[in-house]
Amino acid sequence: MTRPITLFTGQWADLPFEEVCRLASGWGYDGLEIACWGDHLDVQRAAADDEYVRSKLDTLEKHNLKAWTISNHLVGQAVCDDPIDDRHRDILPERVWGSGDPEWVRLRAAEEMKATARAARLLGVDTVVGFTGSAVWKYVAMFPPVSAEAIEAGYQDFADRWNPILDVFDEEGVRFAHEVHPSEIAYDYWTTVAALEAIEHRPAFGLNWDPSHMVWQDLDPVGFLWDFRDRIYHVDCKDAKRQTGDGRAGRLGSHLPWADPRRGWDFVSTGHGDVPWERCFRMLNAIGYDGPISIEWEDAGMDRLVGAPEALEYVRRLAFDPPEAAFDAAFSSN
């Protein structure tokens, strides 16, 4: 079940799509996890223009690449977020931001996510990766005190806003893989349980497993794979490194920029952090995950033209297939 290794284009959206294809192909990637921003993919055009879709597929084919997933994190973030503010204006398409009225932004973001499902089907892709946003992330510090009713209302808000989107995903035969990530409705183990319960475990909603967001929260990324094995719809390989020893570096980051040595943790290129990758890949084998393994390159202390090919080499070496037969089967005389 040799799994394709892809490059997530989100951190490369400043480059033209064809240039990213050229780079990825030259390094030996099997395909791309295509971001729905920059010029990489416009989901509204894709949903309405067959020639636009064909041009994207032709560019991939020209560079011997394929796509198994597309990703719309930026718009998905606005579906549930509260507050909606200038941060969202900076990342959203103008057609979604509009006048900036918060509720209208959320409603337009929801329509854009429906269009993303339609675009995925036309591209021949069966999984969309992304964020959900959250009405309750603002309460993460729990002070001033937050009632249980307020948290429950936030999960109900998520269900109310995402169920109609997931209805379209069902219609198109596409799945949504939510990236478990701080600032989202599911950001750790128990919030993932709560999010799945809120949408009654409907099959259209699963998980994008990215262990970099788990290690700095003291979550076990390997155990997470096992416990949610029926919901792992996609895998992103990104790493994180915890800083220890000086008694000053906190886990919340202290509002310090990436790569600042005073931070309590930082994203680093795959293989340079604290993710136990070999254990993770063995667990992916154990749960039967046979989808793409996508390298999401983020490292403010390393040039991406060095990091992306190095990460590919690292993952190819460790993401070995399971054996076709148990090693002790050779002991049998029958």
Question: What mean pLDDT is reported for the chain?
Answer: 96
Domain count along the chain: 1
Tell me which of 80-89, 92-101, 245-254 is least confident.
245-254
In a domain, 69, yes or no: yes
Per-residue pLDDT at 327: 58
Phi, psi of 291 (to 5 degrees): -85, -175
Find out whether 116 and 59 touch, Cβ atoms under 8 Å: no
In a domain, 34, yes or no: yes
**Domain with 198 in it: what CATH number?**
3.20.20.150
**Any idea what the Cα angle at residue 77 is, between residues 115 and 187, rounded to 5°?**
125
In a domain, 155, yes or no: yes
pLDDT band at residue 268 using 50, 70 and 90 as cut-offs: very high
pLDDT of 328 strictly over 80: no
pLDDT band at residue 323 using 50, 70 and 90 as cut-offs: confident
Per-residue pLDDT at 324: 77
Find out whether 139 and 146 touch, Cβ atoms under 8 Å: yes
In a domain, 333, yes or no: no
In a domain, 310, yes or no: yes
Of all residues in the chain, what percent carry a pLDDT higher than 70?
97
Phi, psi of 7 (to 5 degrees): -115, 125
Per-residue pLDDT at 246: 84
Per-residue pLDDT at 237: 98
**Any idea what the Cα angle at residue 20 is, between residues 15 and 24, rounded to 5°?**
150
Average pLDDT over residues 78-82: 98
Question: How far is it, in rounded angstroms, from Cα 195 to Cα 137?
Answer: 13
The residue range of the domain holding 174 is 5-327
Per-residue pLDDT at 331: 65
In a domain, 172, yes or no: yes
Per-residue pLDDT at 322: 83
Per-residue pLDDT at 334: 60
- DSSP letter at 3 equals P
Question: How far is it, in rounded angstroms, from Cα 251 to Cα 235?
Answer: 24
In a domain, 228, yes or no: yes
Per-residue pLDDT at 333: 58
Per-residue pLDDT at 244: 76
Per-residue pLDDT at 313: 98
- Among the listed residues 187, 178, 311, the one whose alpha carbon sits nearest the alpha carbon of residue 233: 178
Per-residue pLDDT reduced to its tens digit, 37-47: 999 999 999 99
Question: SS3 for 205?
Answer: strand
Per-residue pLDDT reduced to its tens digit, 118-150: 999 999 999 999 999 999 999 999 999 999 999
Per-residue pLDDT reduced to its tens digit, 169-178: 999 999 999 9
pLDDT of 26 strictly over 90: yes
In a domain, 332, yes or no: no
pLDDT band at residue 245 using 50, 70 and 90 as cut-offs: confident
pLDDT band at residue 98 using 50, 70 and 90 as cut-offs: very high
Question: How far is it, in rounded angstroms, from Cα 60 to Cα 117?
Answer: 20
